[in-house]
Amino acid sequence: MAMRWYAVNTLSGSEERARKALEQRVKLYGFEERVNNILVPSETVVDPKTKRKITRRFYPGYMLVQMELDNETWHLVSNTPKIIGFVGGSRNPPPVPDEEVKKITRMLDEEEEEAPRPVLDFELGEEVRLTEGPYASMRGNVEEINESRGKLRVTINIFGRPVSTELGFHQVEKLS
C-alpha cells in the first residue's frame, strides 16, 4: 500500500498531546514503516496584548497523519488518547488531496524561515495608543498596514499638526 495523508480529528487544544501520544503508540507497536509523518499545522506569533510568543493552529482540532491505512493502523490511530477519529468516514476515510498537503507544508516551511510575527488585528482608520517610543501614551490613527514587515504607519496630532510615524505591531495597542 502507498503512504497517503489522512486528516484526524483531535480534542481542540490537545493537538500536540495527541501527536505525542500517537508517536509513542507507533513506536510501542513497531509501526514506524506504516505511519510515516504526523503534522499539526501551526505557526508561532506574538500576542499584541501580552507580547508573548504563542502557537496559533491553522486548523484547531485537527492534525494530518501520513500512513498506510489498514485495519491495524486505523485502530492504532482511532484508539489513541485525545484523538476522536478520522475525518470523512468511520471505517474508510478519504485521503487528503496531495495539493492540500503541499499547500499546508509550504505554509509550514515559510513559517520556519521567519521570526515569529505578531497577530494582525488592526484596521485602516482605527484609533490606537502608542505603547513604546518617544510618543508613548499618545493616540493616533492607522494610516497604512504593512503585514510583511510587521509595521504600521500611524498619524499622531502633535501641537495640532498631523505627524506620520512608522511603528511595529508590538509598539501600539488597540483602543476598546
Q: What is the mean pLDDT of residues 65-83?
A: 93
Q: Is residue 121 part of a domain?
A: no
Total domains in the fold of the chain: 2
Residue 65 lies in a domain: yes
Same domain, 110 and 27: yes
134 in the same domain as 105: no
Sorting pLDDT into bands at 50, 70 and 90, what band is 114? Answer: low
pTM of the model: 0.63
38 and 87 part of one domain: yes
Domain extent at residue 100: 4-116
84 and 153 in a single domain? The answer is no
Q: Does residue 122 sit within a domain?
A: no
For residue 150, what are the contacts with CB-CB under 8 A and spacing of at least 6?
A: 117, 118, 168, 169
Lowest mean per-residue pLDDT among 28-42, 84-98, 105-119, 157-171: 105-119
**For residues 48 and 119, is the Cβ–Cβ distance under 8 A?**
yes
pLDDT confidence of residue 80: 94
Task: Quote the pLDDT of residue 42.
Answer: 84
Are both 38 and 103 inside the same structural domain? yes
In this structure, what C-alpha cell is assigned to residue 50?
Answer: 501580552
CATH classification at residue 31? 3.30.70.940
User: Both 25 and 99 in a single domain?
Assistant: yes
Average pLDDT of the segment spanning 89-109: 85
Say if residue 98 is in the same domain as residue 169. no
